[in-house]
């Protein structure tokens, strides 16, 4: 809340919004934020737009919560995210059924960032550290997220991350095939010996809000690819239905 009479900068207003979200402990509506921050409606929406663009705030069904970049400021921070809340129970179930690790990944500013991670209980396991970000370039998660970005965001991500070793037309064709298939599999593209399958999580209007990724040591899943893919596709569909339910 802004309470003194000194000139207030745009940075101050943005920090007020972030601090209010952090203190509240759950996702907030715009009306709640207006009441708590005492900002004007136009100022609040301007700050939210900028914070969302940078990845500091997430929006889901008209509610706002701290975003992926907040996790990068403090790894291990438990974010009151609409997406995490809807996905976590099904992620736990998928990890139990598959005996492998399951991650919730989103695309922010040209990076694939891990919002949440349920680790396998097996001694040898694969993991993606919560809050970690990697370039949107290789691997199942990155390709799944790229395939479902809006055209403008996709072009920006490709400009930032596409290496000289691969023509853009080839990658665009691959991304089109991924959208058609509804999932993508990778083996050793990012880390040697790691197999993964990633499926988009689709919110209202079939807009991709993130990706559900199952990851495992390649040697352990030999001959089990089809059932693991099916488990992940079914789980992602169940989460997506939840995200689209009022």
pLDDT at 71: 61
* Segments in 82-211 forming alpha helices (H): 82-98, 140-147, 151-161, 168-181
Quote the pLDDT of residue 163: 61
CATH entry, 10-66, from 3.40.50.150, 2.60.40.1730, 1.10.443.10, 1.10.10.10 = 1.10.10.10
Q: CB neighbours (10 Å) of residue 245?
A: 9
26 within 8 A of 64, measured Cβ to Cβ = no
Both tokens of 108, joined, read 């922010």
Can you give the pLDDT at residue 75? 46
**Phi–psi pair at 77, nearest 5 degrees:** -65, 130
Q: pLDDT of 98-137, one tens digit each?
A: 999 999 999 877 788 888 999 999 888 887 777 677 788 8
Q: What token pair was written down for 57?
A: 């705030």
CATH node for 82-244: 3.30.450.40
CB 211 within 8 A of CB 139: no
Q: What is the pLDDT of residues 61-75, one digit of tens each?
A: 889 988 877 766 654
Q: Which of 15-24, 38-47, 61-70, 154-163 is predicted most confidently?
A: 38-47
Mean pLDDT of 11-25: 82
The residue ranges of every structural domain in the chain are 10-66, 82-244
Buried b (16+ CB within 10 A) or exposed e, 175-207: beebeeeebbbbeebbeeebbbbbbbbbbeeee
The pLDDT value recorded for residue 4 is: 41
């Amino acid at each position: 809340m802004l309470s003194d009479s000194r000139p207030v900068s745009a940075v101050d207003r943005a920090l007020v919004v972030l601090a209010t979200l952090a203190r509240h402990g759950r996702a907030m509506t715009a009306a709640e934020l207006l009441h708590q921050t005492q900002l004007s409606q136009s100022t609040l929406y301007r700050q939210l737009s900028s914070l969302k663009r940078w990845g500091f705030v997430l929006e889901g069904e008209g509610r706002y919560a701290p975003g992926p970049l907040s996790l990068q400021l403090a790894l291990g921070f438990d974010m009151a995210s609409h997406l995490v809340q809807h996905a976590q129970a099904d992620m736990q179930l998928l990890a139990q059924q598959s005996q492998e690790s399951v991650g919730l990944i989103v695309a922010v500013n040209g990076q694939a960032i891990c919002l949440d991670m349920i680790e396998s209980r097996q001694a040898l396991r694969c993991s993606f550290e919560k809050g970690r970000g990697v370039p949107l370039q290789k691997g199942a998660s990155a390709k799944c997220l790229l395939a479902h970005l809006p055209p403008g965001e996709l072009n920006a991500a490709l400009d930032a991350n596409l290496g000289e070793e691969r023509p853009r037309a080839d990658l665009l064709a691959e991304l089109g095939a991924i959208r058609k298939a509804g999932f993508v599999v990778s083996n050793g593209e990012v880390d040697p010996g790691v197999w993964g399958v990633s499926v988009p999580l689709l919110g209202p209007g079939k807009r991709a809000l993130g990706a559900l990724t199952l990851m495992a040591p390649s040697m352990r899943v030999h001959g089990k690819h089809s059932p693991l893919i099916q488990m992940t596709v079914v789980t992602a569909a169940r989460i997506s239905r939840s995200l689209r339910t009022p």
